[in-house]
Amino acid sequence: MKFAFYPGCVSRGACPELFESTIAVCEKLGIELDYKSMESASCTGSGILQEKNLKLGDTLNARNFALAEKSGLPLLTICSTCQGVMSQANARLLADKEYLKEINQELKSEGLEYKGTVDPKHLLWVLMEDIGIDKLKSLVVRELKGLKLAPFYGCYIVRPSAALKFQENPSRSTSLEEIIKAVGASVVDFPGKTQCCGFPILMINQKNAVNMVANHTSTAKDEGADAMVTPCPLCHLNLDAYQPEASKTKNEPINLPIIHLPQLIGLAIGIEPEKMKLNKHIISTKTMLSEIGVSP
Amino acid sequence: MNVNLKVKRFDPSEPTKNTWWQEYQIDIHKDSTVLDALIHVREYEDTSLALRCACRASICGSCGMKVNGSAKLVCKTRVAEVSPGGEQVVIEPMGNHPVVKDLVVSLDTFFNQIKRIEPYVQPDHIPEKGEYIASNESMENLLTAMNCIMCGCCVSDCTVLEVDDNFIGPAALAKAWRFVDDPRDSKRENRLNNLNNEDGGIWDCTRCMQCVEVCPKGVDPMDRIMDLRDSAISNGLTNSFGARHANSVNKSIKHSGRIDEFRLPIESKGYFNIKEIFKLLIPGLRMLIKKQSPSPFHHKNPNQSKVKNIFKNFEENK
Ligand code: SF4
Ligand code: SF4
């Protein structure tokens, strides 16, 4: 199984532990990542560039899709925000032939053209739809029994559900829960799991962003969670790095470790925590790891 | 079909324990809507259940409620849709609105938000003949926003309103766009200025898309907020944290193909805004020490000149 790999900005920037753990996990799962084909791909615009100029954003994404198309490989991302922005751009490009034609004009000078055949996929969905829960279960060498995990989807991998093709792929709406169960841990359900983490306004209205972190992490903790799992590096950044600020608003330490999806899989299929930089989080994962008998 | 409804009850006249969950097991027609089911409960099982509805045809916007955690018009939602395998259906009053009784909420908060944006056309002259004429084309842009039936579903599920009741909110901002872009209105600049500068204005939305997902009328409030942001920046309102944030992202993708996570926070705040930058300092240092990231050294993607050209073309054609 080979994919054109689109790591996104954050896994190569502020969340290097996501990048490292993805590489290690994909190797074990038999997912071959081709770096070369998307090496000159740009940022999706992250929804932010789109506030300023939607068409420019769509053009950059069409260019990235054209690069993937050229490689002949399906496109894989490890960032929910990239997934959402790409899916939305793709939906607009495919819905209007004239629009796609106009945008392709912009790509012409580079000899690129987007024909409309790309279906970008997050690792979370690849695990569900291409690897399959049964295969994942068969690779588990360390059942994470006793660990109580709160799923945190965030926004971009669940909304808008039409662009993300939830109807065609109903398992997408419960994928994180299924994976948590497949590795032997138990699911802590809480209402915030599909809400915004607050990251998009962190630099605009920090107070609101931090209050969102406080609400989600403390609710999950009150419901009994030992840690939270997310497929989105931006959610991770806010929920982990700003949790100390969130704790201040609650006047008590929240201390809920936030782990990336591949780190969860990695723990279960026998990858060492240091290799996945589980010791590099702001909120320590020590207690959580000792609960499953792993020393960090 | 048989269905189990779990309804959140609230009775303000009860001195203690005024909020509780109540389950009803009922037998209804397979095509019933959630509203039919609730009316069945009120008629045959429990006359004390309070709910509000009027047209039953998703026109009046009275029956917004949370069904399995997200806001819906219950007259437009079939039981079979939300309980395909016979699962329990959980019904609560809408969020972010004060509850009056059981499933009935007060819309005062909602209309106070709407009032904030001065929801009426403000022309600068009286037309010679009795009407203000606007061309079809000039109004097309407003059609989505004009579809709003004021049901409050978007407000119910807005993630910002949950932590900040001063946010103008999705419905009112969508309505604001409807007047900003109305060719007969003369207050466009004023309106954009206010929406840009006000606490709780256009830059406070997190782009979480809850409002887009739950709006039963395709208003897509968040997209209208993006229209407002685009208009604000195009109108030269570039001094907000939000506009600087968008401009910084634009600049770094144009320069390197990627977001420069080191500069983005600083540029959003403004290089000389010491007080705000100071607030970023502690979390920033924590990240640098623990993760050695984000690195201050920002690399360019290969072939970046191609991406830069796309930006240049857009800038020239604007
Ligand atoms: S997109 Fe913005 S306005 Fe809409 S629900 Fe989310 S935060 Fe509220
Ligand atoms: S924007 Fe949509 S959800 Fe919000 S009040 Fe109007 S119709 Fe209801």
Q: Looking at this protein, which amino acid is placed at residue B170?
A: P
Q: Which domain holds residue A278?
A: 132-290
Cβ contact B157:B65 at 8 Å: no
Domain membership of residue A296 (yes or no) is no
Same-domain status, A108 and A138: no
Same-domain status, A142 and A257: yes
**Per-residue pLDDT tens for B48-80?**
999 999 999 999 999 999 999 999 999 999 999
Kindly state the average pLDDT of the residues A69-90: 98
CB pair distance less than 8 Å for A16 and B160? no
Cβ contact B86:B3 at 8 Å: yes
The protein residue with its alpha carbon nearest to ligand 1, atom 5, reads: B158
- Name the domain count of chain A: 2
Average pLDDT, chain A: 96
Name residues whose C-beta falls within 8 Å of residue A212's C-beta, 6 or more positions apart in sequence. A195, A196, A197, A198, A238, B159, B162, B163, B206
Q: Give the Å distance between the CA of B103 and the centre of ligand 2.
A: 18
In angstroms, the CA A86 to CA A80 distance is: 10
Kindly state the average pLDDT of the residues A172-185: 97
Which residues are near ligand 2 (CB < 6 Å)? B 148-154, 170-171, 174, 215, 217, 219, 221
Beta bridge partners, B31, equal none
Task: Give the per-residue pLDDT at B272.
Answer: 84
Name residues whose C-beta falls within 8 Å of residue B247's C-beta, 6 or more positions apart in sequence. A52, B233, B238, B267
In angstroms, the CA B103 to CA B51 distance is: 5
Residues in chain B: 318
Cβ contact B294:A14 at 8 Å: yes
In angstroms, the CA A93 to CA A101 distance is: 9
Q: What is the ipTM of this complex?
A: 0.93
Ligand showing the shortest atom-to-Cα distance for residue B217: 2
Q: Around Cβ B266, how many Cβ atoms within 10 Å?
A: 18
Same-domain status, A101 and A30: yes
| CA-based end-to-end distance of chain B | 58
In angstroms, the CA A150 to CA A177 distance is: 8
The protein residue with its alpha carbon nearest to ligand 1, atom 4, reads: B211
Q: Which of B271, B291, B297 to mutate to test the interface with A (most CBs of A within 10 A)?
A: B291
CB pair distance less than 8 Å for B159 and A212? yes
Task: Give the per-residue pLDDT at B259.
Answer: 92
pLDDT above 70 (res B232): yes
Same-domain status, A138 and A273: yes
3-state secondary structure of B169: coil
B211 C-beta closer than 6 A to ligand 1: yes
Ligand showing the shortest atom-to-Cα distance for residue B61: 2
Task: Give the per-residue pLDDT at A142.
Answer: 96
Q: Please list every residue in chain B whose beta carbon sits closer than 8 Å to the beta carbon of residue A201.
A: 160, 203-206
Average pLDDT, chain B: 94
Kindly state the average pLDDT of the residues A70-80: 98
Kindly state the average pLDDT of the residues A162-182: 96
Share of chain B above pLDDT 90, in %: 82
Chain A residues 114-153 within an 8 A CB cutoff of chain B = none
DSSP state of A15: -
Own/partner pairs, B98-101, CB within 8 angstroms, 24+ separation: B99/B10, B100/B12, B100/B50, B101/B10, B101/B11, B101/B12, B101/B50
Q: Among A77, A97, A122, which residue terminates a domain?
A: A122
pLDDT above 80 (res B156): yes
Q: Please list every residue in chain A whose beta carbon sits closer than 8 Å to the beta carbon of residue B198.
A: none
**Per-residue pLDDT tens for B38-52?**
999 999 999 999 999
CA distances from A263 to A260, B28, B126 (A): 5, 47, 66
Ligand showing the shortest atom-to-Cα distance for residue A160: 1
Q: Looking at this protein, which amino acid is placed at residue B124?
A: D
Chain B contact for A219 (CB, 8 A cutoff):
no
Chain B contact for A60 (CB, 8 A cutoff):
yes
Task: Give the per-residue pLDDT at B128.
Answer: 85
In angstroms, the CA B26 to CA B44 distance is: 10
pLDDT above 90 (res B131): no
Residues in chain A: 296
Task: Give the per-residue pLDDT at A296.
Answer: 67
**Per-residue pLDDT tens for A120-152?**
999 999 999 999 999 999 999 999 999 999 999
Domain membership of residue A295 (yes or no) is no
Q: Which of A279, A195, A282, A192 lies closest to A237 in space, CA to CA?
A: A282
Beta bridge partners, B8, equal B21
CB pair distance less than 8 Å for A280 and B291? yes
Task: Give the per-residue pLDDT at B291.
Answer: 79
Nearest CA in chain B to A44: B258
Share of chain A above pLDDT 70, in %: 100
Cβ contact B53:B62 at 8 Å: yes
Beta bridge partners, A227, equal A149
Q: Give the Å distance between the CA of A158 and the centre of ligand 1.
A: 14
**Per-residue pLDDT tens for A227-270?**
999 999 999 999 999 999 999 999 999 999 999 999 999 999 99
Same-domain status, A98 and A160: no
Q: Around Cβ B48, how many Cβ atoms within 10 Å?
A: 11
Q: Among A122, A149, A182, which residue terminates a domain?
A: A122
CB pair distance less than 8 Å for A48 and B246? yes
Please state which CATH class domain B108-234 belongs to: mainly alpha
Q: Among A122, A153, A183, which residue terminates a domain?
A: A122
Q: What are phi and psi of A45, to 5 degrees?
A: 100, -15
pLDDT above 70 (res A12): yes
**Per-residue pLDDT tens for B110-127?**
999 999 999 999 999 888
Q: Looking at this protein, which amino acid is placed at residue B30?
A: K
Read off the CATH number of the domain in which A258 is found.
3.40.50.11810
Domain layout of chain B by residue ranges: 2-105, 108-234, 241-317
Q: Which fold has domain B2-105?
A: Ubiquitin-like (UB roll) (3.10.20)
Same-domain status, A153 and A105: no
Domain membership of residue A187 (yes or no) is yes
| Residue located via tokens 């690069």 | A67
Beta bridge partners, B27, equal B2
Kindly state the average pLDDT of the residues A4-20: 94
In angstroms, the CA B53 to CA B286 distance is: 53
Task: Give the per-residue pLDDT at B130.
Answer: 82
Kindly state the average pLDDT of the residues B153-172: 97
Task: Give the per-residue pLDDT at A201.
Answer: 96
Domain membership of residue A169 (yes or no) is yes
Is the model more confident about A296 or about A154?
A154
Chain A contact for B279 (CB, 8 A cutoff):
yes
**Per-residue pLDDT tens for B239-289?**
999 999 999 999 999 999 999 888 898 898 888 888 888 888 888 889 888
